[in-house]
């Protein structure tokens, strides 16, 4: 048994330090309060212990000022907790613009990660030191939660929508990756490791996976294979909208509403095209529900993102990122799911 | 303590004999005992599951039971402890016994409905037991979708229906209490003369009546989606899984106050009696209960800070959670101030009350940690949360329940319990509890996720401490079970008012006659006026 006591987990991101400082404030306030109450109780219990059965204590005055003081002072301290906590939460919700994108798909009971360069990993994630990483996450089945204690970062991974999380590792090493939302039988086996590597080492690691195709080019292949290209022609306008430069722009619908073309919008356009029909077009696009997996979808999205970007800025890591502030991490409402569900045994 | 001589008087226990007289009783005191027996059974059942869980976690690999079994164990532990023990605990046993007596009336407003509540509770409990016996359920007590609706291969519908049914028992009990408090107070018993136990039970009842229908409907929807593929929660069917969480916590946050408000009421009674002083700031304590009941409905989103709700929603819920912490803090301060210049005795119930104040304070303070958004992201769904709510529900509610049981035991059974053993077990419970749950705060902050069957080596120290504590705690709970049973036969006969307390329930015989009072009492004083007790007890 490892018998060394430890009170703070490793700090491997900038946020980790901020959370620990907040934790120290919380612990100090709590300790002072509970110590004060415990000492008072102890003191009163001893000082005013019953000395005879016939004692009849007199009523003590109950000053209003006292009641006010012990309502308002704790509340003031709690406001600090609120503001401090909220400011860290905002920081967690706002990935920096130069963050590199990595995709995460959770399924019972493994984590699949995909780098834009094409590397795919299972229950592992390799990232470079000092570079902000933005995860776009979804689930193939139930709700999971991506948790790296050393980064103090956690966010639920839901089926049918994209959520995001980000962190900037500040320490090289191997760190735990846990699933924190109970997800069925092997929940506690849904664990893995995050490897934070020196940038040069990371480049080497990337190069080592030479057999992989970048997400954009796998996406392009899928785009052709699924015959999207027959309708969505990039050369001439026709019955179908041109997807070049679509990503991140507002799109006008037949009903007059406007939507931003983010990941969730594209996902829905592919799985459930009739939900939102672009103004000026007929509702003729077929649904690809059941034909594409969550990973395929991510590749298609990445390909559509790349359309219209100048080749050099198409360096995938700096793709345009929609402001993720409105919904912390959530890139859209529920849409239908594409991947086959596990064959269900008897329902009881 | 005062002792009494034997006097054979007709009382509710000896008034009628035979199984039938119990199963068809309309006497609130007997119904309270029916509940006491049923929930004690569920408590020990849930306790057995907890024991196996703690034994499994003694070592890092999952080696004692399989993953599937482990998941069923913690699910059933949670479901049984929350829905079949804690929610009915104080209201349905002590509340049932005491509400009419504290109000100076003969029974609850609807005695038959009261008996019906118990039967409904038993039927709901049987559903859960049946589900358990034929294979169990592995969704956790939270029934999160789409795991529960589309993926789990266990008896989800049966269990959900069981919980759904017990909900009605909770609603009916709440309704009965509300009507009784409004309509049946003894002459002279104005609202501000009510014991604080009544205030908190009343506030609890309001939550039960308003909140329980929501969980009932939610669980029904889970059953319908699972059984008939209605697309409500599962995105594959066009539903929204976060909607479930909103509905679930809209009830389940207030439900945590269903579990703790009555405990606060008990503690107000204990602190006052054993320091012989009026509860400091009576009105503040009374209104704090009402404030908690109302504000408790506005904070459910603090369970969903990383679930995908908007940043702004999270901020509002965080702020409101701090608001609800204020009335809880007010209560703690007022109890402490009650001790000032009192005449404090260390009888067993008071030891439990001290224990409650200490542990509830720690539970409440760590609640304010969790309401701090940036902190919660890290610790949500870890053992930190597990420790937080056990500090409140076991450290708080369970301590108050045991304290209350000891305090009113002379009234309930007509017998005294053995004081020495009782003090010893109070101490064992307190120490065992802290040893079990304090290490969980630390391992939670270190990142140990909850509901894990196996875990990395570095967490083992804390798990070993926790398991050791759990064994101590188990002993602490077994001792009272034994001496309470022992005392039924061998305990010294209890006087009518052994603690010289002020409540109306102490002005009748122990155990009380079937109709509670020979003559309907008339109330001329505020609650907790110790100058009048002396006259009453001596006279
Ligand atoms: C003093 C005010 C309180 C505050 C500010 C507070 C705050 C919180 C927060 C923010 C959480 C969510 C933690 C998470 O899942 O990340 C939580 C969880 C919980 N709290 Fe409290 N709490 C308070 C009092 C209570 C009381 C009085 C009870 C019970 C009687 C209670 C029982 C629970 C339970 C059962 C959970 C976890 C449920 C689960 O996820 O299974 N809390 N509390
Ligand atoms: Cu999981
Ligand atoms: Cu809550």
Domains detected in chain A = 10-34+65-88 (no CATH), 100-207 (2.60.40.420), 215-328 (1.10.760.10)
Closest-CA residue of chain B to A41: B336
> Which of B449, B453, B465, B534 has the most A C-beta neighbours within 10 Å, making it the best mutation to test the interface with A?
B449
When computed from its CA atoms, the radius of gyration of chain B, rounded to whole angstroms, is: 23
3-state helix, strand, coil in chain B (%, to 5): 70, 0, 25
Residue A263 distance to chain B (closest CA, Å):
16
Predicted local distance difference test score (pLDDT) of residue A256: 83
What pLDDT is attached to residue A332? 38
**Cα distance from B515 to chain A (closest Cα, Å)?**
31
Give the closest residue (by CA) to ligand 1 atom 29. Answer: B256
The dihedral sign for the CA sequence A200, A201, A207, A212: negative
Look at residues A298, A330, A13 and name the one whose alpha carbon lies nearest to residue A147.
A13
DSSP secondary structure letters along A28-43: HHHHHHHHHHHHHHHH
Mutate to test the interface with A, among B378, B391, B448, B535 (most CBs of A within 10 A): B378
Residue B73 predicted with pLDDT over 70: yes
Ligand 1 contact via B364 beta carbon (within 6 Å): yes
Instruction: Please determine, for residue B349, whether its predicted confidence score (pLDDT) is greater than 50.
Output: yes
Chain centroid, CA A337 distance in Å: 19
Residue in A85, A327, A347 nearest the CB of B227: A347
- Specify the range with the lowest mean pLDDT, choosing from A282-286, B201-205, B240-244, B360-364: A282-286
Which of B127, B103, B99 lies closest to B114, judged by CA? B99
Q: How far apart are CA A154 and CA A122, in angstroms?
A: 18
Distance CA A101, CA B438 (A): 39
State which of B204, B261, B302 you would mutate to test the pocket of ligand 1, scoring each by most atoms of that ligand within 8 A of its C-beta: B302
CA angle A301, A295, A317 (to 5 degrees): 50
Q: Which residues contact A22 (CB under 8 A, 6 or more apart)?
A: A81, A84, A85, A88, B372, B374, B375
Taking the CA of B365 as reference, the closest ligand is 1
Q: Which protein residue has the closest C-alpha to ligand 1 atom 21?
A: B367
pLDDT of residue A99: 92
Contacts of A328 in chain B (CB under 8 A): 308-311, 314
In angstroms, the CA A122 to CA A124 distance is 5
Q: Which pLDDT belongs to residue A147?
A: 97
Instruction: Provide ipTM, 2 decimals.
Output: 0.92
* The dihedral sign for the CA sequence A280, A285, A287, A293: negative
Q: Is A329 on the interface with B (CB under 8 A)?
A: yes
> Is the CB of A33 less than 8 angstroms away from the CB of B534?
no
Ligand 1, atom 30: nearest CA belongs to which residue? B256
Question: Environment class of residue A195 by beta-carbon count within 10 Å: exposed (0-12), middle (13-18) or buried (19+)?
Answer: buried
Helices (H), B1-95: 19-23, 28-56, 67-79, 87-88
Q: How many CB atoms lie within 10 A of CB A64?
A: 9
As given in the structure block, the two tokens for residue B137 are 């359920």
Report the C-alpha gap between B2 and B451 in whole angstroms: 49
Q: For testing the chain A interface, which of B375, B495, B498 should be mutated: the one with the most A CBs within 10 Å?
A: B375
Given a cut of 50, the residues of chain A with pLDDT beneath it are: 1-2, 311-348
In 10 A of CB B329, how many CB atoms?
22
- CA distance, residue B19 to nearest chain A CA (Å): 36
**What number does the ligand 1 atom closest to the CA of B140 have?**
41
B440-467: pLDDT as tens digits: 999 999 999 999 999 999 999 999 999 9
Nearest CA in chain B to A42: B354
pLDDT of residue A19: 96
Q: Integer distance in angstroms from the first to the last C-alpha of chain B?
A: 17
CB distance B151–A335 less than 8 Å? Answer: no
All residues at 6 or more sequence positions from A35 whose CB lies less than 8 Å from its CB, including other chains? none
Would you state the pLDDT for residue B79?
A: 96
Interface of A with B in 41-80 (CB under 8 A): 41, 44-45, 48-51, 55-60, 62, 66-67, 70-71, 74-75, 78-79
Residue A202: partners with Cβ closer than 8 Å, 6 or more residues away: A126, A127, A128, A129
Q: Tens digit of pLDDT for each residue in B148-192?
A: 999 998 999 999 999 999 999 999 999 999 999 999 999 999 999
CB pairs under 8 A between A and B: 317
Average pLDDT over residues B413-423: 95
Conformational region of residue B367, where left means phi above 0, alpha means psi within -120 to 50, and beta covers everything else: alpha
The pLDDT, as a whole number, for residue A246 is: 86
Looking at residue A347, what is its pLDDT?
43
Asked whether the beta carbons of residue B343 and residue A346 sit closer than 8 angstroms, the reply is: no
| A14 in contact with chain B, both atoms CB, cutoff 8 A | no
Average pLDDT taken over every residue of chain B: 93
Q: Are A132 and A98 in contact (CB under 8 A)?
A: yes
Across B91-111, average pLDDT = 95
C-alpha dihedral (A114, A119, A123, A124), degrees to nearest 10: -110
Closest CA to A329 of A170, A149, A158: A158
Is any ligand 1 atom within 6 A of the Cβ of residue B76? no
- Contact indicator for A143, B147 with CB cutoff of 8 Å: yes
* Window 500-539 of B, Cβ < 8 Å to A: 530-531, 534
Comparing CB atoms, the residue among A8, A44, A141 nearest residue B340 is A44
- How far is residue A259 from each of residues A280, A305, B13, measured CA to CA in Å? 15, 16, 71
Instruction: Report d(CA B508, CA B496) in Å as an integer.
Output: 6
Regarding the beta carbon of B439 and ligand 1, being less than 6 Å apart is answered no
Query: Of B99 and B536, which is predicted with more confidence?
Result: B99
CB contact under 8 A, A49 and B358: no
Residue B60 has pLDDT above 70, yes or no: yes
* Rounded alpha-carbon distances, angstroms, from residue B60 to A53, B200, B337, B454: 55, 43, 46, 5
Compute, in angstroms, the gap from residue B87 CA to the centroid of ligand 1.
15
Q: B426: which strand partners?
A: none
Residue A263: enclosing H or E segment and its boundaries?
Answer: helix A263-271
Report CA-CA distances (Å) from A86 to A217, B358, B374.
40, 29, 6
Report yes or no: B380 and B305 within 8 Å, Cβ to Cβ. yes
- In DSSP notation, B184-243 reads -PPTT--GGGS-HHHHHHHHHHHHHHHHHHHHHHHHHHHHHHHHH---SS-GGGT--HHH
Cα–Cα distances (Å) from A246 to A43, A224, A259, A266, A305, in that order, read 71, 18, 11, 10, 7
CA neighbor of A140 nearest in space, from A344, A335, A337: A337
Taken in order of first residue, the domains within chain B and their CATH numbers are: 28-538 (1.20.210.10)
Enumerate the residues of chain B whose CB falls inside 8 A of the CB of residue A19: 374-375, 377-378
Cα distance between residue B155 and residue A346, in whole Å: 10
DSSP designation for B498 = T
């Amino acid at each position: 048994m490892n018998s060394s006591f430890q009170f703070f987990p490793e700090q491997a991101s900038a946020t980790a330090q901020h959370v620990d400082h907040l934790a120290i404030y919380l612990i100090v306030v709590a300790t002072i309060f509970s110590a004060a109450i415990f000492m008072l109780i102890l003191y009163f219990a001893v000082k005013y212990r019953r000395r005879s059965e016939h004692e009849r204590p007199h009523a003590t005055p109950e000053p209003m000022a006292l009641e006010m003081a012990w309502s308002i002072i704790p509340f003031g301290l709690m406001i600090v907790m609120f503001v401090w906590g909220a400011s860290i939460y905002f920081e967690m919700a706002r990935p920096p613009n130069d963050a590199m994108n990595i995709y995460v798909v959770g399924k019972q009971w493994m984590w699949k990660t995909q780098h834009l360069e094409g590397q795919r990993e299972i229950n592992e994630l390799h990232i470079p030191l000092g570079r902000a990483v933005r995860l776009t996450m979804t689930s193939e089945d139930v709700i999971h939660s991506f948790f790296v204690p050393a980064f103090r970062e956690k966010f639920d991974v839901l089926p049918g929508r994209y959520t995001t999380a980000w962190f900037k590792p500040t320490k090289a090493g191997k760190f735990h990756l846990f699933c924190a939302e109970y997800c069925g039988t092997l929940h506690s086996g849904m664990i893995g490791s995050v490897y934070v590597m020196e940038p040069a080492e990371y480049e080497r690691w990337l190069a080592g996976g030479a057999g992989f195709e970048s997400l954009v080019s796998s996406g392009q292949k899928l785009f052709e294979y699924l015959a999207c290209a027959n309708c969505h022609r990039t050369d001439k306008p026709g019955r179908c909208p041109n997807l070049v430069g679509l990503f991140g722009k507002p799109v006008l619908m037949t009903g007059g509403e406007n939507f931003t073309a983010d990941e969730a919008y594209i996902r829905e356009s592919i799985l459930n095209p009739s939900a939102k029909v672009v103004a000026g077009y007929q509702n003729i696009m077929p649904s690809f529900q059941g034909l594409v997996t969550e990973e395929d979808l991510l590749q298609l999205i990445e390909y559509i993102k790349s359309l219209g970007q100048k080749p050099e800025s198409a360096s995938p890591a700096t793709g345009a990122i929609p402001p993720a502030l409105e919904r912390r991490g959530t890139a859209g409402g529920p849409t239908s799911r594409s991947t086959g569900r596990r064959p269900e045994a008897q329902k009881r | 303590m005062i002792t009494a001589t034997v006097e054979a008087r007709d009382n509710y226990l000896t008034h009628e004999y035979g199984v039938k007289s119990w199963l068809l009783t309309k006497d609130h005191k007997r119904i309270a005992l029916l509940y006491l027996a049923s929930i004690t059974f569920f408590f020990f059942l849930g306790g057995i599951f907890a024991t196996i869980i703690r034994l499994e976690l003694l070592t890092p690999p999952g080696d004692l039971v399989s993953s599937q079994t482990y998941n069923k164990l913690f699910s059933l532990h949670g479901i049984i402890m929350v829905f079949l023990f804690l929610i009915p605990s104080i209201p349905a046993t002590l509340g049932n016994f005491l509400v009419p007596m504290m109000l100076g009336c003969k029974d609850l407003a609807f005695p038959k409905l009261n008996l019906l509540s118990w039967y409904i509770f038993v039927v709901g409990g049987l559903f859960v037991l049946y589900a358990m016996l034929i294979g169990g359920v592995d969704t956790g007590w939270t029934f999160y979708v789409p795991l529960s609706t589309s993926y789990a291969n266990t008896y989800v519908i049966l269990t959900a229906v069981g919980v759904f049914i017990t909900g009605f028992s909770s609603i009916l009990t709440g309704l009965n209490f509300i009507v009784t408090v409004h309509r049946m107070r003894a002459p002279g018993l104005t609202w501000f003369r009510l014991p604080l136990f009544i205030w908190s039970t009343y506030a609890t009842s309001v939550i039960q009546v308003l909140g329980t229908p929501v969980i009932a409907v939610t669980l029904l929807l889970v059953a319908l989606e699972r059984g008939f593929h209605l697309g409500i929660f599962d995105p594959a069917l066009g539903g929204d899984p976060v909607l479930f969480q909103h509905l679930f916590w809209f009830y389940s946050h207030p439900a945590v106050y269903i579990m703790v408000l009555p405990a606060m009421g008990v503690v107000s009674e204990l602190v006052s009696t054993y320091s012989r002083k009026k509860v400091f700031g009576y009105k503040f304590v009374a209104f704090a209960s009402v404030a908690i009941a109302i504000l408790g409905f506005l904070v459910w989103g603090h369970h969903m800070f990383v679930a995908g709700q908007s940043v702004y929603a999270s901020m509002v819920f965080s702020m409101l959670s701090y608001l609800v912490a204020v009335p809880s803090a007010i209560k703690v301060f007022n109890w402490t101030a009650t001790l000032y210049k009192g005449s404090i005795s260390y009888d067993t119930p008071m030891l439990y009350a001290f224990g409650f104040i200490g542990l509830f304070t720690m539970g409440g303070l760590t609640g304010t940690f969790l309401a701090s958004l940036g902190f919660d992201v890290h610790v949500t769904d870890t053992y930190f949360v597990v420790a937080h709510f056990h500090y409140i529900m076991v450290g708080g509610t369970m301590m108050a329940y045991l304290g209350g049981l000891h305090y009113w035991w002379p009234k309930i059974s007509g017998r005294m319990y053995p004081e020495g053993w009782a003090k010893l077990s109070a101490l064992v419970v307190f120490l065992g509890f802290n040893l079990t749950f304090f290490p969980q705060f630390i391992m939670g902050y270190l990142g140990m996720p909850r509901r894990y069957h196996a875990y990395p080596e570095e967490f083992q120290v804390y798990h070993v401490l926790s398991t050791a504590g759990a064994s101590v705690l188990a002993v602490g709970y077994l001792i009272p079970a034994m001496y309470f049973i022992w005392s039924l036969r061998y305990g010294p006969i209890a006087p009518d008012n052994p603690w010289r307390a002020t409540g109306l329930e102490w002005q009748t015989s122990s155990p009380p006659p079937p109709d509670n009072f020979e003559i309907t009492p008339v109330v001329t004083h505020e609650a907790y006026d110790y100058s009048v007790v002396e006259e009453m007890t001596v006279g």
